[in-house]
Structure 1
Amino acid sequence: MIPTIKTFEEYQQQYSLSVQNPEAFWEEKASYFQWRKKWDKTLEWNFQEPNIKWFRGGKLNITENCLDRHLAERGDETALIWEPNDPEEHFRKFTYRELYNKVCQFANVLKNNGAKKGDRICIYMPMVPELAIAVLACARIGAIHSVVFGGFSAQSIADRIQDAQCSLVITSDGGFRGNKEVQLKTVIDDALVQCPSVKKVIVLTRSRTPIAMIKGRDVWWEDEIKKVETLGLNECKAEEMDAEDMLFILYTSGSTGKPKGVVHTCGGYMVYSAYTFQTTFQYNPGEVHFCTADIGWITGHSYIVYGPLLSGATSLMFEGVPTWPNSGRMWDIVQKYKVNILYTAPTAIRSLMSFGLEPIKGKDLNSLTKLGSVGEPINEEAWHWYDDNIGQKRCPITDTWWQTETGGIMIAPIAGVTPTKPGYATLPLPGIQPVLVDENGKEIVGNGVSGNLCIKFPWPGMLRTTYGDHERCRVNYFATYPGLYFTGDGCLRDQDGYYRITGRVDDVLNVSGHRIGTAEVENAINMYSDVVESAVVGYPHDVKGQGIYAFVICTPHLNDDELTRKDILMTVSRIIGPIAKPDKIQFVKGLPKTRSGKIMRRILRKIAEGDIANLGDTSTLLDPAVVDEIKAGALISVKTH
């Protein structure tokens, strides 16, 4: 374990050292891991190309650090607890030794099915332990995993499989989320019509839904495990990887319609995910860490699987949703497993707040020592509710800011060390050097200022490229402000030097902590046969943080607005997935455009927010009268569901 930081003075010292000599700082953190060969050079970098290499020449396998090295001392300690969707179903626990055995077995299954080092493997599964096992088994044999969230549509999966040219898919017959059964294998079958690169599909039995199994392509997980057991293949030597070899691809929305595959590498990601887990949450051996995210997102990668297991921690994963079968479910889980650290999203907190305090009554939450928030800035009301009712004013709240691209937490209070402020991510972790810049890239110094948030020096967990398209990585993150990594977020630094994230400055929405590009939603809406054009913006939403508001121009002959709305929602669900469905659809005759044809989203955003008195100058628009018509239409309710 990396030593934790005990006092604020110690944080300040560590931070100062990390800025003065970043390479020595990260070398020391990396020394706590098992390397087959030590690195030759700690860091090589430039942000122009960009080209970033950490621990160059170092050899390792991340799963030896997640599993093998814990066997001697904590082989019989609990690594993973799984709580099923249905509280009546029995939970499962895995010791480090049991998890090691399961990962080795499934790694051999992958090899038997033709998988090898460097292959890309798509994983589309429910939140069951086998998902974590599949991720680790890929890493063990040096295959690159690309986990796709179980709520995405066939088209979204096909796009991701084609982009990475995956040769194998791991899925399940179905899954459960609350009172819904999710048809996973059927969705995969629809996706694979477009994916000739896929040669094998391994299917786990979960929901016992009838599915099609294609001879020669589809095999059952359980049958493949039996083959391995029969052959006595219960050990699997970990593949030696270079520190800069790819570990995984994770697709994220950008401001263009096409999702981009963020690439993370073995050495730097290992050091960073473990360091940020241990430091932010001040993890102590034996504590139960419950991260409520899905492994389909980066939070699940870093703080359900890799960060906790690299730290020898006990990680709890939950298949269901916090409000099913009733709104006390989350607190039942905390009580049942004596959870110490709860890491969840503001959306979940706001949703649970709406049920009042009744669901918490009689629940024993005394095991909790630390609380975390992730996905979007937590609003003050939710922060205080979380603090008063869940932490009972004795658990520090760490409001963490970071991104898929950063690999791990960047700006956050260190639990119990950094004085907190509701709504603020507070201060950067040691090793992270944030700067605020104006529109021209000029650094804004001092406190009590706001600007665009950039990072001026590399950190080990940062993305290295976007898969198959390095130019896109350069343009998206490094070209806006030369010499800096641009986060895409606006930020305020207050009089105390504390950071508060003010939201995206590009066309990306943050809906329930999921990043969704406006262009992606517009593309999906425009696929509907009667849509001529659309523009999508975000607006404040009581539960989700941001809702999706769509302004849509349709062909003139439509006469049933309600049915058209439902059809558009179904189209978006089919193309992206239910998470991208607009909350409001307003039919309009035109959109506010400049003479060059650019849609003035700033005006649409104000209308969606209900701030129609402050639209600014509209005289430069091609047709200013369009705005009055949109304003009038916005006053009529346009909720879709």
Structure 2
Amino acid sequence: MPHPQDTVQELSLRDPESFWRHHADLLHWHRKPSRALRRTTKTLPSGVSHPHWTWFPDGEISTTYNCLDRHVAAGRGDNVAIIWESPVTGSKEKYTYRRLLDEVEVLAGVLREEGVRKGDVVLIYMPMIPAALIAALAIVRLGAMHAAVFGGFAATSLAQRIEAAKPRMIMTASCGIEGTKGPLAYRPMVEGAIEKSSFKPEKVIIWQRDQLRWDKPDKLAGQRNWQRLVKSARNRGVRAEAVPVKSNEGLYVIYTSGTTGLPKGVIREAGGHAVGLSLSIRYLFDINGPGDVMFCTSDIGWVVGHCYILYGPLMVGATSILYEGKPVGTPDAGAFWRVVEEHKVNTLSTAPTALRAIRKDDPDNKFFEEVGRRGGLKTLRGLFLAGERSEPSIIRIYQDLLTKYAAPGANVVDHWWSTESGSPISGLAQHSTAGLLAPASPQDAAYKPLPIKPGSAGKPMPGFDVRIVDDEGNEVPKGTMGNVVMVTPLAPTGLTTLFNDEERFYKGYLKRFNGRWLDTGDAGMIDEDGYIHIMARSDDIINVAAHRFSTGAIEQAILSHPDVGEASVVGIPDPLKGHLPFAFIQPRTTPGSNDGPIPATPMPELFTSINTLVREQIGAIASLGGIIQGRNMIPKTRSGKTLRRVLRELVENGVKGDFDAKVNVPPTVEDAEVVTVARGRVREYFEEREGAKKMGRAKL
């Protein structure tokens, strides 16, 4: 008998019309769609034609109504919708569905008075505070679209998004708070971005925070005090009802954080988003409604935050944790586990980089064990990891901890998705009935998720048909590395175009394989059991003497060494083999070991033992061309992705002896100082190597 997840997947691809209409029926429609899917062909101004599709084409829906009004109307207004946890300010606050609806109705009335209309774009540049979520819901309530940008982006990056989105107004705050660094004023970024942009928004609505105020807003520049506007509207009884939009009209625009070129605006269609997201949060994450609590540690500037801090939990009437803090340092590496305990969290969604940070500060898991021993993790049913590949060691460590302290059957689930997909493409479904057409049956009580495979991202989710192809677009056998592509149409949450840029959509996603496949830009394989393994971005594949290796697979081998805590692999040019794998490693941290210098070049014994693991697990052809070691030198984006491209540029420049050459550091980098540290390590390594050559000694 096939596993229920396989049955659900097969049904979603074989009969998408019946499958998705069933799930659409679980939502409130202002105009119910007569069909689920319409396939068409779109012809571009250049004359090129490509497949196009629309979900629920004649339906009309309000996402805000589905997230708020219908729950209050059903008598669940006193249920908690949002819990705000802000260790950086010492604040905690709860919003019931009734209170949240009240706040959204009034703010939507304010925005309508300020000129926002259906179809407009409003840019959100906010920290992780309740006002940010209220803003998004109020914008959507009017039938407008929000474009949320990570709070703290520099003026130039923000200006790019203003240019692209052309928002009627910007909703922002007086400051953000970056961990222990204290308040970060937003005014210079917002005003600087508007000055740099040729497009000028009409208004800037400012939420004043007590930690740092935006003094004397410039009324002539359209700057308005958010709290005063809301107070005035409330006193005058100003409110706004939900405005439905057509299913294929935009809910939000979100800009990808690509490391080159201008950001791409992914537009999320309202109907498909609502249907696909409400399925995914129930089916994959096992958050099914009132009483369930989800803690997603992302930011509302990223797609994960859009989906599983804001819309997903509210769509099903559950409780969402809004967290303003870091996994470590606010105040310590036990912060996440204490939030789980205090609020009886059922599902925790975070990034592998967050767990690495926790492990670095708490290598013996004393905080997890402390909370676990007193029974504080008994409600936790799942720990979900996304954002980049999770090394198997992390999966195994936390699976053992969950088995010991969490709810019976709790799993660590590595899953894979993207800004473009709008919901997970693959994972291990933790709840069976949400994905089945038939009503719940007695057998569902005995449902067991598919077994985890550390290193894999599970199996495809409903509506996503994932394939592996070679560079010519031909499917490859199972277990063979290749380009990860998808069959169109994508599941309902997936993109169908880019905001105001159909040509770029075709060139970026469909052109490479002539419209036959949608190119994800990832490289990986599907194993004999149907599990998907995402190994690297396509441009992170290293070609060694005509053999293709993924950085992820080599990193996995390196991380199996007991003395290595973190690793990032890039290619280094080689005159004989084209490229060789080259590793940046951070030694495993032990208490008290952060003091003292670490030489850039590891001892020969360490190099040999690490290289032996690579040769054993990958093959002799993948032997490393070198290792640089150090602390705090592997740059990441704020969403947790390792910036291998930056390290690769530094190494390529180092080979040439050009250590000061400019490298392309994206605005999404978490800490630009890490790049400076990496640059210094590269210089030290190559200067040592050059010195060794001159002395006639072999130097690794």
Is the structural similarity TM-score above 0.5?
yes
* 1:480 maps to 2:482: no
Residues 247 and 581 (structure 1 numbering): CA distance in 2 closer, same or farther, change over 3 Å? Answer: farther
What is the rounded CA distance, in whole Å, between the counterparts of 1:134 and 1:185 in structure 2? 18
Query: For 1:243-322, what aligned pairs fall within 5 Å after superposition?
Result: 243-254=247-258, 256-285=260-289, 286-322=291-327
* 1:389 maps to 2:401: yes
Amino acid at match of 2:204: V
Query: For 1:74-473, what aligned pairs fall within 5 Å after superposition?
Result: 74-86=76-88, 88-89=90-91, 91-180=92-181, 181-195=183-197, 196-212=199-215, 213-216=217-220, 217-233=222-238, 235-254=239-258, 256-285=260-289, 286-323=291-328, 324-354=330-360, 355-356=362-363, 357-363=365-371, 364-390=376-402, 392=404, 394-415=409-430, 416-445=448-477, 447-458=478-489, 459-473=491-505
Residues 117 and 453 (structure 1 numbering): CA distance in 2 closer, same or farther, change over 3 Å? Answer: same
Whether the 8 Å contact between 1:371 and 1:391 is mirrored in structure 2 is no
- Following TM superposition, by how much is the alpha carbon of 1:362 offset from its aligned partner in structure 2, in angstroms? 2.3
What is the rounded CA distance, in whole Å, between the counterparts of 2:402 and 2:265 in structure 1? 37
What is the rounded CA distance, in whole Å, between the counterparts of 2:689 and 2:293 in structure 1? 51
* 1:39 maps to 2:27: no
Name structure 1 gaps, 5 residues minimum.
1-6, 512-536, 589-606, 613-627, 636-641
- Could you list the per-position Cα deviations for residues 59-82 of structure 1 after superposition, in whole angstroms to 9, with x for gaps in the alignment? 111111111111123111111111
Amino acid at match of 2:483: N
Identity of aligned residues (%): 34
Whether the 8 Å contact between 1:572 and 1:578 is mirrored in structure 2 is no
- Following TM superposition, by how much is the alpha carbon of 1:631 offset from its aligned partner in structure 2, in angstroms? 7.2
- Could you list the per-position Cα deviations for residues 295-332 of structure 1 after superposition, in whole angstroms to 9, with x for gaps in the alignment? 10000001111111111111111011111211211112
- Following TM superposition, by how much is the alpha carbon of 1:449 offset from its aligned partner in structure 2, in angstroms? 2.3
Whether the 8 Å contact between 1:125 and 1:170 is mirrored in structure 2 is yes
Deviating runs (4+, > 6 A) in structure 1?
A: 507-511, 585-588, 628-631
What is the rounded CA distance, in whole Å, between the counterparts of 2:583 and 2:110 in structure 1? 47
- Could you list the per-position Cα deviations for residues 27-48 of structure 1 after superposition, in whole angstroms to 9, with x for gaps in the alignment? 1111111111122442223575
Whether the 8 Å contact between 2:487 and 2:518 is mirrored in structure 1 is yes
Residues 49 and 539 (structure 1 numbering): CA distance in 2 closer, same or farther, change over 3 Å? Answer: farther
- Following TM superposition, by how much is the alpha carbon of 1:57 offset from its aligned partner in structure 2, in angstroms? 1.2
What is the rounded CA distance, in whole Å, between the counterparts of 2:358 and 2:173 in structure 1? 30
What is the rounded CA distance, in whole Å, between the counterparts of 1:113 and 1:380 in structure 2? 52
What is the rounded CA distance, in whole Å, between the counterparts of 1:293 and 1:372 in structure 2? 12
- Following TM superposition, by how much is the alpha carbon of 1:210 offset from its aligned partner in structure 2, in angstroms? 4.2
Give 3-state SS (helix, strand or coil) of 1:145's partner: strand
Whether the 8 Å contact between 2:123 and 2:167 is mirrored in structure 1 is yes
What is the rounded CA distance, in whole Å, between the counterparts of 1:396 and 1:464 in structure 2? 33
Amino acid at match of 2:411: P
Equivalent of 1:491 in 524, 536, 539: 524
Residues 82 and 586 (structure 1 numbering): CA distance in 2 closer, same or farther, change over 3 Å? Answer: closer
- Following TM superposition, by how much is the alpha carbon of 1:472 offset from its aligned partner in structure 2, in angstroms? 0.7
Whether the 8 Å contact between 2:208 and 2:214 is mirrored in structure 1 is no
Give 3-state SS (helix, strand or coil) of 2:229's partner: helix
Whether the 8 Å contact between 1:273 and 1:408 is mirrored in structure 2 is yes
Residues 280 and 580 (structure 1 numbering): CA distance in 2 closer, same or farther, change over 3 Å? Answer: farther
Aligned to 1:604: none
- Could you list the per-position Cα deviations for residues 562-599 of structure 1 after superposition, in whole angstroms to 9, with x for gaps in the alignment? xx79xx79x968x66655666367879xxxxxxxxxxx
TM-score by length of 2: 0.74
Give 3-state SS (helix, strand or coil) of 1:102's partner: helix
- Following TM superposition, by how much is the alpha carbon of 1:209 offset from its aligned partner in structure 2, in angstroms? 1.9
* 1:501 maps to 2:534: yes
Aligned to 1:49: 50
- Could you list the per-position Cα deviations for residues 172-206 of structure 1 after superposition, in whole angstroms to 9, with x for gaps in the alignment? 00021211222222211111113343110010012
Equivalent of 2:642 in 546, 551, 561: 546
Equivalent of 1:583 in 675, 678, 682: 675
Q: Which stretch has the larger CA shift, 133-142 or 321-330?
A: 321-330
What is the rounded CA distance, in whole Å, between the counterparts of 1:630 and 1:438 in structure 2? 40
Q: Which stretch has the larger CA shift, 152-161 or 14-23?
A: 14-23
- Following TM superposition, by how much is the alpha carbon of 1:249 offset from its aligned partner in structure 2, in angstroms? 0.7
Whether the 8 Å contact between 2:152 and 2:176 is mirrored in structure 1 is no
Give 3-state SS (helix, strand or coil) of 2:311's partner: helix
Residues 426 and 448 (structure 1 numbering): CA distance in 2 closer, same or farther, change over 3 Å? Answer: same
Whether the 8 Å contact between 1:353 and 1:385 is mirrored in structure 2 is no
Aligned to 1:616: none
What is the rounded CA distance, in whole Å, between the counterparts of 1:407 and 1:191 in structure 2? 27
Whether the 8 Å contact between 2:281 and 2:288 is mirrored in structure 1 is no
Amino acid at match of 1:457: T
